[in-house]
């Protein structure tokens, strides 16, 4: 079994938007592996956030990969726009993609990596047949739409089963988790098989500051290899 590299992906949903550039530079300097950008349309999820202009602005602010999480209906309408804005990876929700295989090809053709997100109730089986086309599976560990929610423990069974399937397939597919990731949950989530940890409030809202919060999360996710 190959050693998993842990990735910490700060979600700018929890950043202070009056100083977004500073916040992105702080997580970049603090050791983030990727910047997570939550795009919401008020239809697929009951909240509205931001679109390609913010992706472009973040692209100008960091050298890190940009991980765009599309919580929008008909995401195929915006794939080129987000790829051109600077998205390194585009995550679509399986619940919004009746032609998921086609959508994944579309993302690849636009020059981005492919991610597929699953809501807490959505079974892994819905994406099993397209797993070879996926660069990252993103398991929602909360119901998408808002930061600062509590992790739903039952979602970790799905993380375990997806890790088994990825191992059996033998492709370097990332397994991400998104929602309610903090110091009290990350160790168990890592133990379940996740290797990409999206965290918003636990990083941008941390009293101890951004670098310390990210180091602590990384250490807790990989207890045998403390950060440093
Ligand atoms: C939720 C978003 C998450 C969110 C996570 O719909 O997809 O990325 O920012 O926020 P926390 O880490 O605060 O749960
Ligand atoms: Zn997200």
CATH classification at residue 81: 3.20.20.70
Per-residue pLDDT, averaged over 73-102, amounts to 98
- For residue 211, which of 23, 20, 21, 68 has the smallest C-alpha distance? 23
Ligand 2: centre distance to CA 208 (Å): 23
- For residue 93, which of 123, 117, 129 has the smallest C-alpha distance? 117
Task: Give the per-residue pLDDT at 224.
Answer: 60
Contacts of 109 (CB under 8 A, 6+ apart): none
38 assigned to some structural domain: yes
Ligand 1: centre distance to CA 139 (Å): 12
- pLDDT tens digits along 14-43: 999 999 999 999 999 999 999 999 999 999
pTM: 0.96
Per-residue pLDDT for 74 more than 80? Answer: yes
Number of domains in the chain: 1
- Residue 14 lies in domain: 7-224
Residue to mutate, 9, 11, 199, ligand 1, most ligand atoms under 8 Å from C-beta: 11
Ligand 1: centre distance to CA 126 (Å): 23
24 assigned to some structural domain: yes
Task: Give the per-residue pLDDT at 2.
Answer: 45
Pocket lining: 163 vs ligand 1, CB cutoff 6 Å: no
207 assigned to some structural domain: yes
Ligand 1 nearest-atom number relative to CA 201: 13
Cα end-to-end distance, the chain, whole Å:
25
2 assigned to some structural domain: no
217 assigned to some structural domain: yes
Give the count of alpha carbons within 13 A of 143, CB side only: 5
- pLDDT tens digits along 51-73: 999 999 999 999 999 999 999 99
Residues bordering ligand 2, an ion, CB closer than 5 Å: 38, 69, 178
Q: Which residue numbers are catalytic?
A: 38, 178
1 assigned to some structural domain: no
209 assigned to some structural domain: yes
213 assigned to some structural domain: yes
């Amino acid at each position: 079994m190959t050693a998993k590299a842990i990735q910490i992906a700060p979600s700018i949903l929890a950043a202070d938007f009056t100083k977004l550039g500073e916040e992105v530079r702080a997580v970049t300097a603090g050791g983030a592996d990727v910047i997570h950008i939550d795009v919401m349309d008020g239809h697929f999820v009951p909240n509205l956030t931001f679109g390609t202009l913010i992706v472009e602005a973040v692209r100008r602010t960091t050298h890190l990969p940009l991980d765009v999480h599309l919580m929008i209906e008909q995401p195929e309408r915006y794939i080129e726009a987000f790829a051109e804005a600077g998205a390194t990876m585009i995550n679509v929700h399986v619940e919004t993609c009746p032609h998921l295989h086609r959508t994944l090809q579309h993302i690849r053709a636009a020059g981005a990596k492919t991610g597929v997100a699953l809501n807490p109730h959505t079974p892994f089986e819905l994406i099993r047949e397209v797993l070879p086309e996926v660069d990252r599976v993103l398991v929602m560990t909360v119901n998408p739409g808002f930061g600062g929610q509590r992790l739903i423990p039952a979602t970790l069974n799905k993380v375990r089963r997806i890790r088994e399937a990825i191992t059996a397939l033998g492709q370097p597919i990332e397994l991400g988790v998104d929602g309610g990731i903090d110091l009290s949950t990350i160790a168990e989530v890592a133990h379940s098989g996740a290797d990409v940890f999206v965290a918003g409030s636990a990083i941008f809202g941390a009293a101890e500051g951004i670098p310390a919060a990210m180091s602590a999360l990384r250490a807790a996710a990989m207890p045998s290899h403390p950060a440093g």
